[in-house]
Amino acid sequence: MVDEVKEDPFQWIKIMLDPSHKYYSNTQQRKQVSARLKKLGKTPEDVVADYLKCLWDYTIAHLKRKKGEDFQSVYTVKVVLTVPAVWSALAKDKTLRAAKQAGIKTGITLVTEPEAAALALLKDKYEETSIKVRATTRFFLFYRIFLKAIMD
């Protein structure tokens, strides 16, 4: 069970991972976040790692309940984290380091948010019984075949 949050949640923490991001220069927000981080003795990576650890621990506990305590000897767990399309290499690296710090050691893939949205849409379209795509039919069918291959 998740404890009740007694303080305001962190805002702008994702932006703090990428000093090259256009919104990073927003001094007001950055000063507020930096002050909270300093008070806690944490870095932006630490806060992201704490968040991911909560998600990871919950996910592992859920899988153990549903698939059994030894599920990892039977199933391969892969983690896909989405990042903004304009994310710098430094921010991607910090995201991966935070995931590892959270206890996610292997099987981590970073995907840009637009790619994730497109794949989700294609999966939904794949499950439809009729196709209403005109100009991009070849592109769509390629991904339909690709998705079927990876889902089977």
Tens digits of per-residue pLDDT, 62-83? 989 988 898 888 888 889 898 9
Condensed to tens digits (0 to 9), the pLDDT of residues 20-51 reads 887 777 778 888 888 999 999 999 999 999 99
Contact 47, 13 (CB under 8 A): yes
Look at residue 149 in the predicted model and tell me its pLDDT: 45
In angstroms, the CA 14 to CA 45 distance is 9
Q: Is the pLDDT of residue 102 over 90?
A: yes
Q: What percent of the chain has pLDDT over 90?
A: 28
pLDDT in tens, 105-135: 878 999 888 888 888 777 666 665 555 544 4
In this prediction, residue 27 carries a pLDDT of: 74
Residue 78 CA to residue 103 CA, distance in Å, equals 13
pLDDT of residue 127: 62
pLDDT of residue 90: 94
- Report which of residues 138 and 47 the model is more confident about: 47
pLDDT of residue 67: 87
As a whole number of angstroms, the distance between CA 127 and CA 131 comes to 10
Calculate the average pLDDT of the chain. 79
Distance CA 32, CA 22 (A): 17
Give the pLDDT confidence score for residue 73 in this predicted structure: 84
